[in-house]
Chains A and B, each alone.
Chain A
Amino acid sequence: MNALSIRNLKKTYSNGFVALKGIDLEVESGDFFALLGPNGAGKSTAIGIISSLVNKTSGSVSVFGYDLKKNNAKAKACIGLVPQEINFNQFETVKNIVLNQAGYYGMPKKLALKSTEECLRQMSLWDKRNTVSRRLSGGMKRRVMIARALVHAPKLLILDEPTAGVDIEIRRSMWEMMEQVNKQGTTIILTTHYLEEAESLCRNIAIINDGMIVERSGMADLLARVNKDRFVLDLASEISVIPKIEGYEFELADSKSLHVTVPKGKNINQLFHKLTENNIAVLSLKNKTNRLEQLFMDLVNE
């Protein structure tokens, strides 16, 4: 069964801006799905409509077979949303924020208390349960929103840029948490601007641009389309002339840093061999951009 089915979804705002031009999208149950796109592409509008925060202009959305219009309550009960911006009561305690959300989903008090404790422990927030939320750090606030979204055990978790603005340590712990939640059977839809995040976590992907889906495929299939890799070489000594080696493109970033483009299938050992012949010693090598980033830029610029 599909966790999410979107048919010909359109949205025109009252100021005339057309945010969605008729998108179709299906996400399978259990998937870890990336919905990517540049700013203003229509991601947040699509997520807003799926989570009932934005009124659609036309089209249909169904969640685990429940039409959002005809079976609104059942469809909503399947969804947990972690929005982009902090949207809880800053004067409320951490525990009450999560507990109240359980109440809105109709969970009996005893069950709500149990689930609240589990979610707060999972997010390492149990020690902060009686803290007023405005006193939390940015990373903790994001984890409160995840705990709140998980408290009613949703079958579909939508994370709208959950790691924006958090430090790398918290980001990594959130990745682990997301993988853990997905392994437990929850379908996850993730939007993010950190493409390495999408690349490492998600199995399927859709790219939205200018209100339309411009790509929908498996992550592995999409990455297989990358036909060249770009590397940054840190050199042992300064060079002033760009080397000319057949089959590779070079660009001098500075006197001790060389960018090289390697076509897919080309042997990288040969590159080092040729560089050695040119008396160029390489200290280290790293990817200039990740593979998904290259594809993303190509697709949205088409």
Chain B
Amino acid sequence: MNNFIAFRTILSKEIHRFLRIWPQTLLPPAITTSLYFLIFGKLIGDRIGSINGASYMDYIVPGVILMSVISHSYANVVSSFYSTKFQRHIEELLVAPVSNWVILLGYVGGGVARGLMVGCVVTGISQLFAEITVVNWGVTIAVYFLTATLFALAGFINAVFADSFDDISIIPNFVLTPLSYLGGVFYSVSMLPAIWQTISLANPILYMINAFRYGLIGVSDVDIQMSFLITGGFIAFLTLLSLLLLHKGVGIKN
């Protein structure tokens, strides 16, 4: 019961935080993705034609939605947990009888909530440009949640190790964004030369985007089961790593 109340408190604090600053958290992805849909989908997409049987606009919608989910679930946890460390109010949690898994669940829950909320905003905007009928609701919702969870966990670990505000922007700028763009958001890997197709398969984001695309429009470059296996494997690994870091007090205790 105590853990449930503590979890609810952390989660509600986290959700309240990103809703309070909605012009920084919810508005920018709406504008950015509108431009993606307008420029890539509408203006350029009309000249590209179809990919794997789907119109170019329909083809990029799942990737753009999931890219927003990835970046915002990550950004929420990394910035919130690092601020908590920086302002030292992490001590409020450390002195209280809150289990490590509750702290992790609360912060990851906040990241997932923001990722999903941004995903809903982007999905709503995509409906202005494309008419998508969901092919497989189960796969769509599962990938949506699992991807948000995975990147919220990754953001948490980044925040644990971060010593400065520079440290929380390096991974999103130099790792996440390139991997997302190279994860087949705007193209099918089958369009790449053989060597780049092989290299692309080492990018885990490719599997998530394609699984999500399969759920939404029924098109994928990769095996769906493999996608779930990779995503689930990463979640399990990052969860264990996060709990270990919290147990040892890395970055938060002397």
Q: Tell yes or no: A90 within 8 A of B by CB.
A: yes
Chain B CB within 8 A of A83 CB: yes
A83 to B95, CA, bound (A): 11
- CB <8 Å contact, B5 and A88: no
Cβ contact of B97, chosen from A55, A73, A148, cutoff 8 A: A73
Q: Digit string of B200-239 for contact with A (CB within 8 Å is 1, else 0)?
A: 0000000000000000000000000000000000000000
Point out the residues of chain A lying under 8 angstroms from B49, CB to CB. Answer: none
- Docked complex Cα distance between A74 and B96 (Å): 10
Min Cβ gap B81→A in Å is 12
How far, in Å, is A238 (CB) from chain B's closest CB? 54
Q: Which residue of B lies closest to A73 (CB)?
A: B97
A148 vs chain B, min Cβ distance (A) = 7
Interface-located stretch among A104-112, A119-127, A287-295: A104-112
Q: Is the interface of B mostly helix, strand, loop or mixed?
A: helix
Contact status A79-B95, CB under 8 Å: yes
Q: Which residues of chain A are near B1, meaning CB under 8 Å?
A: 106
* Structural contact, B95 and A51, CB atoms closer than 8 A: yes
What is the bound-complex CA distance between A52 and B97, given in angstroms?
A: 10
Which chain B residue shows the least CB distance to A87? B88
Residues of B within 8 A of A106 (CB): 1-3, 5-6, 97
User: For the complex, is A257 an interface residue (Cβ under 8 Å from B)?
Assistant: no
A107 touches B5 (CB 8 A): yes
Band of interface residues on A: 20 to 34
Complex alpha-carbon distance, A74 and B249, angstroms: 20
Which residues of chain B (69-98) have a CB below 8 Å from chain A? 84, 87-89, 91-98
**Closest CB-CB distance, B40 to chain A, in whole Å?**
37
- B8 located at the interface, meaning its Cβ lies under 8 Å from any Cβ of chain A in the complex: yes
Q: Is B197 an interface residue (CB 8 A)?
A: no
Q: Tell me the complex Cα distance, A81–B3, Å.
A: 20
Known: A87-B89, A105-B97. A55 touches B254 (CB 8 A): yes
Is B9's beta carbon under 8 Å from chain A? Answer: yes
Interface residues on B, range: 20 to 34
User: Contacts A53-B254, A90-B87; is A103 near B8 (CB within 8 Å)?
Assistant: yes
A89/B87 contact (C-beta < 8 A), A52-B94, A53-B254 known: yes
From B3, B89, B96, B97, A88 is in contact (CB under 8 Å) with: B89
Cβ of A85 < 8 Å from any Cβ of B? yes
Chain B neighbourhood of A166, CB < 8 A: none
Tell me how far the C-beta of A110 lies from the nearest C-beta in chain B, rounded to whole angstroms: 12
Instruction: Evaluate contact between A76 and B95: CB separation under 8 angstroms.
Output: yes
Question: Cβ of B95: which chain A residues have Cβ within 8 Å of it?
Answer: 51-53, 76, 79, 81
Q: Which of A73, A74, A103 contacts B9 (CB 8 A)?
A: A103
Kindly identify which residue among B2, B10, B89, B249 contacts A89, using a CB–CB cutoff of 8 Å: B89
Given A87-B88, A105-B2, the answer on whether A53 and B253 have CB atoms closer than 8 Å is yes
Chain A to chain B contacts (Cβ below 8 Å), 29 pairs: A13-B254, A48-B254, A52-B94, A52-B95, A53-B91, A53-B95, A53-B253, A54-B254, A72-B97, A73-B99, A74-B97, A81-B91, A87-B89, A90-B87, A96-B13, A100-B9, A101-B96, A103-B9, A103-B10, A104-B9, A104-B92, A104-B93, A105-B2, A105-B96, A105-B97, A106-B2, A106-B5, A107-B5, A109-B5
List 19 other contacts, CB 8 Å, given A81-B95, A101-B92. A51-B95, A52-B94, A52-B95, A53-B91, A53-B253, A54-B254, A55-B249, A55-B253, A73-B97, A77-B97, A79-B95, A87-B91, A87-B92, A89-B89, A100-B92, A103-B8, A104-B10, A104-B93, A106-B6
